[in-house]
């Protein structure tokens, strides 16, 4: 049997084993230590995650087999104005902490990218680029995924009004593989959409075009350069300089630079098949952009569900579809606004991002909490 009670600080619904009656417990959400009630209604809930600790006699004691859970998600409709206004208010009230967490996250991400680039450059110097670049790239992906779990946890606690610590940024390890699974599944999905949605029109355009309708043939660039050099050395009125007899030692040579110019000029002339394939690819990309944006909105809450609810990759994607239903237009508008804010922040050599990203994170997290009925009362 389990007993259920509400944290007096953050109002989270918690469950612990029956043996914990009357003891002191620390809420895993806000860190508040309070005495558990002695008489509460029992619960048989199966949605559980490990409890943190009890405190007795000044020592933190493990609950052993006891479990603790959060309250149920209650999908709700959100509006663009309400989320933006509430998120802005929360960010304003806790901006210093949000700025500190966001800045550390950006610096760590930037440092990870610098290390990965340095390893790639070193790989080319030692003559073993493939294996080292692969290890560097994979390590960077793992590092960024680990960071994303930590920063998501940090802003969940901050936006809820709970105890948010800078150390939360380093607690993404337990979510690493599930977040990586979400990202991998989404990468495969969007890759297939682009492959078929853009590749098929490109292939049709390539096969439908004919090389018979070619552009008028122009004089070889190398011959043009050589002819111009002849005219510079031996100009003559009414007579082509190329027809004049010059000593062998005065015949101008076409340099490597001239050959490069000629080759570059030749590359500008694409065959009708290549042009048709590129046109088909562009048309296909425009067509698939709309469903890709819709899918991006539908799955946008998967990572935060992994962190907040401890869900697996597939379940998080499925639940993301459920909680975004009816909210996709509001999420689209929020995405446009947040992207524009990020763009403005990047204008000043990226420095503005440090000040804008706290707002972006808080507003995005506010939308999630509002959609799942977890946003604290004002």
> Per mean pLDDT, which range of 88-97, 125-134, 312-321 is the poorest?
125-134
Give one word for 187, left, alpha or beta, with left for phi > 0 and alpha for psi -120 to 50: alpha
Tell me, yes or no, whether 239 and 349 share the same domain. no
The pLDDT of 55-65, averaged and rounded, is: 33
CA–CA dist 315, 325 (Å, integer): 16
Length of the chain: 378
CB 323 within 8 A of CB 298: no
Indicate the angle between helix axes 328-347 and 272-298, nearest 10 degrees. 110
Tell me, yes or no, whether 154 and 193 share the same domain. yes
Residue 58 covered by a domain: yes
Out of 18-27, 285-294, 346-355, the most confident range is 285-294
Count of domains forming the chain: 3
CA–CA dist 275, 146 (Å, integer): 43
Q: Tell me the per-residue pLDDT of 213-265, one tens digit each, with 9 for 90 and over.
A: 444 444 555 555 555 555 555 555 444 544 555 554 554 554 544 444 444 44
pLDDT at 95: 94
Residue 278 covered by a domain: no
Tell me, yes or no, whether 192 and 126 share the same domain. yes
Residue 338 covered by a domain: yes
CA–CA dist 210, 371 (Å, integer): 54
Q: From 302, 70, 307, select the one nearest 176 (Cα to Cα).
A: 307
pLDDT at 3: 67
Tell me, yes or no, whether 307 and 341 share the same domain. yes
The pLDDT of 337-365, averaged and rounded, is: 89
Tell me, yes or no, whether 294 and 154 share the same domain. yes
Q: Tell me the per-residue pLDDT of 174-227, one tens digit each, with 9 for 90 and over.
A: 999 999 999 999 999 999 999 999 999 988 888 888 754 444 444 555 555 555
Other CB atoms within a 10 A radius of the CB of residue 176 amount to: 18
65 pLDDT exceeds 80? no
Tell me, yes or no, whether 183 and 298 share the same domain. yes
Residue 210 covered by a domain: no
Residue 199 half-sphere exposure, CB side, CA atoms within 13 Å? 7
CA–CA dist 270, 267 (Å, integer): 7
Q: Which domain holds residue 246?
A: 221-268
What the block records as the tokens of 1 is 């049997």
374 pLDDT exceeds 80? yes
pTM (2 decimals)? 0.67
């Amino acid at each position: 049997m389990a007993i259920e009670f509400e944290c007096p600080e953050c109002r989270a619904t918690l469950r612990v084993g029956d043996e914990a009656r009357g003891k002191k417990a620390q809420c895993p959400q806000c860190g508040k230590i309070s005495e558990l009630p002695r008489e509460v209604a029992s619960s048989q809930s199966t949605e559980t995650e490990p409890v943190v600790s009890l405190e007795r006699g000044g020592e933190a004691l493990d609950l052993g087999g006891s479990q603790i859970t959060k309250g149920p998600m209650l999908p709700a409709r959100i509006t663009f104005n309400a989320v933006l206004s509430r998120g802005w208010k929360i960010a304003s009230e806790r901006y210093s902490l949000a700025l500190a967490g966001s800045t550390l996250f950006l610096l760590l991400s930037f440092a990870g990218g610098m290390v990965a680039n340095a390893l790639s450059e070193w790989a080319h110097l030692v003559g073993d680029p493939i294996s080292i670049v692969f290890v560097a790239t994979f390590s960077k992906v793992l590092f960024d995924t680990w960071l994303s779990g930590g920063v998501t946890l940090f802003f969940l606690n901050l936006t809820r009004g709970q105890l948010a610590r800078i150390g939360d940024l380093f607690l993404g390890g337990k979510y690493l593989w599930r977040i990586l699974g979400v990202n991998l599944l989404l990468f495969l999905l969007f890759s297939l959409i682009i492959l078929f949605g853009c590749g098929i029109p490109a292939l049709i355009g390539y096969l439908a075009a004919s090389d018979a309708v070619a552009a008028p043939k122009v004089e070889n660039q190398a011959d043009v350069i050589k002819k111009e050099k002849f005219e510079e050395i031996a100009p003559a009125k009414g007579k082509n300089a190329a027809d004049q007899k010059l000593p062998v030692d005065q015949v101008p040579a076409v340099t490597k630079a001239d050959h490069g110019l000629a080759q570059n000029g030749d590359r500008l002339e694409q065959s009708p098949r290549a042009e048709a394939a590129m046109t088909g690819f562009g048309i296909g990309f425009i067509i698939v952009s709309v469903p890709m944006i819709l899918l991006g909105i539908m799955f946008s809450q998967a990572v935060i569900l992994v962190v907040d609810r401890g869900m697996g990759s597939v379940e998080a994607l499925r639940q993301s579809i459920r909680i975004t239903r009816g909210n996709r237009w509001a999420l689209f508008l929020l995405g446009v606004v947040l992207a524009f804010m990020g763009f403005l922040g990047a204008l000043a050599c990226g420095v503005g991002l440090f000040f804008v990203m706290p707002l972006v994170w808080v507003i995005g997290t506010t939308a999630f909490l509002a959609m799942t009925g977890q946003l604290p009362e004002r």
